[in-house]
Amino acid sequence: MNLKELLNSEQYEAATHIEGPLLILAGAGSGKTRVLTYRIANMITEKDIFPYNILAITFTNKAAGEMRERVKKLIGERAEGMWISTFHSSCVRILRREAEHMGFNSNFTIYDSYDSKALVKQCMKEIGIDEKDITDKEIIGTISNSKNELMNAMDFKKKNESNYRKNKIADVFLLYTKRLRANNAMDFDDLIFNTVQLFEKNPEVLEFYQRKFKYIMVDEYQDTNYAQYKLVKALAQGSNNICVVGDDDQCIYQWRGADIQNILDFEKDFKNTKVVKLEQNYRSKGAILQSANSVIKYNSKRKDKVLRTEQVIGEKLKIYRGYTDKDEAAFVAREIKKIREDSPFNYKDFAILYRMNSQSRTFEDAFRRASIPYRILGGLRFYDRKEIKDIMGYLKLINNPQDDISLQRIINVPKRAIGDATVQKIRDFAKETDECLYSAILDIDFIPGLSSRAKSSVNKFLNLMNGFIELREEMTISQIIKKILEDTGYMKALKDSKDPEDESRVENLKELVSEAVDFENNNEDKSLEAFLEQATLVSDTDNYNEDDDNVVLMTVHASKGLEFPAVFMVGMENGIFPSDACFNSNEEMEEARRLCYVAITRAEEKLYLTSAEQRMVFGRTSCYPQSDFIEEIPLNLKENVGSGNRAVNKLGTQKSKTLKKEYNPHALGAKNGSFSSSLTNNTASGKVNSKEFVPGRKIQHPKFGEGTIITASHSGEKAMLTIAFTNMGIKKLDSSIAPLKLL
């Protein structure tokens, strides 16, 4: 392996600087991930560092798998023993080993978002919180944010004692935490949170891992949240050999607590940090890269970076505006066919990127019609399907009988005459005796108020489960799954059913058995725990297989770190990308712009930005103007390649033209900052007194058009307004930010 041939001089410098803190700060496609891979290979072959001493953290399991494969290819079996994995997977490994320090058993269950939601709902019911007052969504979000900031339920309660609403949420948080513990279960956020706690409370455990992981690397460091940051910091404090890689322009998870400051402050956190900047992009043709640079320049909060390419300028970016969303999708399908006929492109060279999963529908229809093979990442995962979750519920309960959520999921699935009333009585009994449901049903004969029929049904269920638990040691996972499908009658019920959907459920369950066989063949750790773990932690992008010749559809978030010869960024409209909310918040606008930068920089050779004048959103026809992000791309780098059928389109065209004329962010002198800040300035000059915004008043918004104020709540100089726009539906706007004119 001759690193000097494989890397440019800055990359080489980064790959060979092993001791001491190192920050690789560089734009998209500059080879950051590549440097990490070669750095690991170099450490093992040239510096004789034990693989056992290396911890590399990647953003997805797929990225981890690829990195491991590449290192293996470079250096062979010597790569064994390295930890290359995501934050979550690394933490699970640590927690399984150290569970008893935390009062958990090592077979703890990991609750996915569905399980956590079920548990939160139960806790809400128990405390007596009405969904109408506080939604489960709000509570789940609050708990998650709190854990990401390393605040436990008690601290959260103390901090919010005087706030009635938050106090109620704190009660759910407390009960939820207690139940998780009783169920011997952790949610996703707990995996990081508990590991940080483990290290804080047990210095000797931390010391062990500090000694073990002498060399730590983190890819996509810009998207770490506070808890992840603390974790890395704790581990790295031992040896100080920490290398982080990132791009502040690609921080796209602030809504999930990612803190861009972590990368900006790295040099402060670790003394004597060496900083390497990579300035050459190897991925994209010139026009694509220059466009990405032009767009991101509109963000004010960023470290200035240079990113150049030696590649030719290539094709201009292609802009298409359809009349309807169907038009847009049909255009994309036509282009893909055309490009494939004219050049050596395969289907897998195309990616369709959108802002939200719900946007995939129209493209699926268009591709099906055009016989284009495609694959969607996102939406319902295989493991999220009902039938798969049912069987996984059995497996989870076999693995950890304390798991009340799984028990409640499957106790009457398939139906075995154990009704809700019976389950409620079991729950009451368990609560009184302070034990888990499984142990309560072991005492079923002592539970008051149950009919002998109910008792006999529960006993049958218990015998069935006990049988599975006993067989666990003797059987492989695929055998256990087959046994569950047979003994519970689950498969028979589906096969007997007349519902055509059940036919595909049968297929999915067969697929689950194959997955299990695959797992047994390909993993060293063949335990049930390991199987459950990978099913829970695997993300959409992890399942993405580049060998299949499919066009791939996914959200921009999911496309992070990936690259494709041709990219279609679709739904490029104000109201979608950027979303409405961005026009009220500078921060959200900047995050959306970073997301746009990520999307543009996925493309190697061809990039399309498409939109539609009309589209169905939540069953209503909406009209959105073309995205401002398209306007931020210089004219010489883009070309219009057509639009939908305009004959039936007069009204829509005119309207968007008027909007465009009145609303031109760049005419407001927004060259350096983003335009929403210039809008703020515009209104901050005090043109309209907020007291004039009263219900019934007609107003004009440059983007949304004419509307009528429905409600207004004033505080000081600002007013929160609910406005019904003639063409854009109802929106909530802040009068101090939104550029409103009275009519």
Binding positions for ATP: 26-33
Contact (Cβ atoms closer than 8 angstroms) between residue 110 and residue 537: yes
List the helix and strand counts (H, then E) for the chain: 30, 21
Q: Among 671, 611, 558, 533, which residue's Cα sits nearest to residue 93?
A: 533
For the CA atoms of 436, 441, 443, 449, the dihedral, rounded to the nearest 10 degrees, stands at 110
32 touching ligand ATP, by CB under 6 A? yes
Q: Is the dihedral of CA 671, 674, 679, 685 positive or negative?
A: negative
Residue reference for tokens 């309660």: 157
28 binds, among ligand ATP, Mg ion, none (CB under 5 to 8 A by kind): ligand ATP
Q: Is 220 a catalytic residue?
A: yes
Counting beta carbons within 10 angstroms of the beta carbon of residue 499, is it exposed (0 to 12), middle (13 to 18) or buried (19 or more)? exposed
Q: Among 680, 472, 511, which residue's Cα sits nearest to residue 585?
A: 680
Q: Among 258, 218, 200, which residue's Cα sits nearest to residue 83?
A: 218
Residue choice 11, 30, 33, 676 for contact with Mg ion (CB under 5 A): 33
d(CA 169, CA 153): 10
246 touching Mg ion, by CB under 5 A? no
d(CA 492, CA 396): 22
Residues forming the annotated binding site? 26-33
Q: Is 33 a catalytic residue?
A: yes
Q: Is 602 a catalytic residue?
A: yes
Residue closer to ligand ATP by CB (options 29, 378) is 29
Residue choice 11, 241, 534, 610 for contact with ligand ATP (CB under 6 A): 11
Residue choice 561, 625, 652, 707 for contact with Mg ion (CB under 5 A): 561
Q: Which helix (H) or strand (E) holds 275?
A: strand 274-278
Strand partners, 709: 723
Residue closer to ligand ATP by CB (options 457, 559) is 559
At closest approach, how far in Å is the CB of 561 from ligand ATP?
Answer: 4
Strand pairing of 698-701 and 705-715?
antiparallel
Residue choice 14, 23, 30, 357 for contact with ligand ATP (CB under 6 A): 30
Contact (Cβ atoms closer than 8 angstroms) between residue 607 and residue 319: no
Contact window for ligand ATP (CB under 6 A) among 6-14, 73-81, 370-378, 723-731: 6-14
At closest approach, how far in Å is the CB of 532 from Mg ion?
Answer: 29
At closest approach, how far in Å is the CB of 153 from ligand ATP?
Answer: 36
The count of other CB atoms within 10 Å of the CB of residue 133 is 10
d(CA 646, CA 612): 12
Residue whose C-beta lies closest to ligand ATP: 31
665 touching ligand ATP, by CB under 6 A? no
Residue choice 15, 21, 22, 34 for contact with ligand ATP (CB under 6 A): 34
Residue reference for tokens 């390419």: 309
Which residues in the 550-579 window bind ligand ATP by CB under 6 A? 561, 563
Dihedral pair phi/psi, residue 564, rounded to 5°: -145, 140
Which residues in the 709-728 window bind Mg ion by CB under 5 A? none
Residues found in the chain: 743
Contact (Cβ atoms closer than 8 angstroms) between residue 72 and residue 364: no
247 binds, among Mg ion, ligand ATP, none (CB under 5 to 8 A by kind): ligand ATP
At closest approach, how far in Å is the CB of 356 from ligand ATP?
Answer: 21
Contact (Cβ atoms closer than 8 angstroms) between residue 104 and residue 128: no
Q: Check 68, 602, 606, 638 and give the catalytic one.
A: 602
29 touching ligand ATP, by CB under 6 A? yes
707 touching ligand ATP, by CB under 6 A? no
For the CA atoms of 123, 378, 259, 277, the dihedral, rounded to the nearest 10 degrees, stands at 160
At closest approach, how far in Å is the CB of 504 from ligand ATP?
Answer: 36
Q: Alpha helix locations (H) across 312-352? A: 325-342
289 touching ligand ATP, by CB under 6 A? no
Q: Check 98, 171, 190, 220 and give the catalytic one.
A: 220
Q: Check 122, 228, 250, 541 and give the catalytic one.
A: 250
Residue closer to ligand ATP by CB (options 262, 643) is 262
Angstrom CA distances, 311 to 283, 287, 349, 567, 598, stand at 9, 10, 19, 18, 19
Residue closer to Mg ion by CB (options 437, 562) is 562
Q: Check 10, 11, 32, 179 and give the catalytic one.
A: 32
Cβ-proximal residues to 203 (8 Å cutoff; 6+ apart), any chain: none
Residue closer to Mg ion by CB (options 505, 560) is 560
8 binds, among ligand ATP, Mg ion, none (CB under 5 to 8 A by kind): ligand ATP
Query: Residues of 517-533 as b/e, b for ≥16 C-beta within 10 angstroms?
Result: eebeeeeeeeebbbbbb
At closest approach, how far in Å is the CB of 246 from Mg ion?
Answer: 9
31 touching Mg ion, by CB under 5 A? no
How many chain residues are in contact with ligand ATP, going by CB under 6 A? 18
At closest approach, how far in Å is the CB of 11 from ligand ATP?
Answer: 6
Contact (Cβ atoms closer than 8 angstroms) between residue 653 and residue 613: yes
**In the stretch 301-340, what mask flags binding to ligand ATP with x, by CB under 6 A?**
----------------------------------------
Contact (Cβ atoms closer than 8 angstroms) between residue 40 and residue 317: no
Q: Among 722, 719, 739, which residue's Cα sits nearest to residue 731?
A: 722
For the CA atoms of 173, 176, 178, 181, the dihedral, rounded to the nearest 10 degrees, stands at -130
282 touching ligand ATP, by CB under 6 A? yes
283 binds, among ligand ATP, Mg ion, none (CB under 5 to 8 A by kind): ligand ATP
Residue closer to ligand ATP by CB (options 194, 290) is 290
11 binds, among Mg ion, ligand ATP, none (CB under 5 to 8 A by kind): ligand ATP
Residue closer to ligand ATP by CB (options 248, 632) is 248
The count of other CB atoms within 10 Å of the CB of residue 45 is 17
Residue closer to Mg ion by CB (options 55, 485) is 55
Which residues in the 244-263 window bind ligand ATP by CB under 6 A? 247, 250
Residue whose C-beta lies closest to Mg ion: 33
At closest approach, how far in Å is the CB of 12 from ligand ATP?
Answer: 9
Q: Is 325 a catalytic residue?
A: no
Collapsed DSSP state (helix, strand, coil) of residue 605 = strand
* CA 694 from centre of chain: 40
Residue choice 15, 22, 33, 594 for contact with ligand ATP (CB under 6 A): 33
Q: Alpha helix locations (H) across 128-225? A: 136-148, 153-159, 164-182, 188-201, 203-212
Residue closer to Mg ion by CB (options 36, 637) is 36
Q: How far apart, in Å, do the first and last CA atoms of the chain sit?
A: 71
Strand pairing of 638-643 and 350-354?
unpaired
Which residues in the 592-651 window bind ligand ATP by CB under 6 A? 601
Residue closer to ligand ATP by CB (options 31, 378) is 31
At closest approach, how far in Å is the CB of 4 from ligand ATP?
Answer: 10
d(CA 35, CA 282): 13
At closest approach, how far in Å is the CB of 601 from ligand ATP?
Answer: 6
Residue closer to ligand ATP by CB (options 221, 583) is 221
Structure tokens at 428: 């009451």
12 touching ligand ATP, by CB under 6 A? no
Give the residues lining the site for ligand ATP (CB under 6 A). 7-8, 11, 26, 28-34, 247, 250, 282-283, 561, 563, 601
Give the residues lining the site for Mg ion (CB under 5 A). 32-33, 561
Q: Looking at the annotation, which residues are catalytic? A: 32-33, 219-220, 250, 602
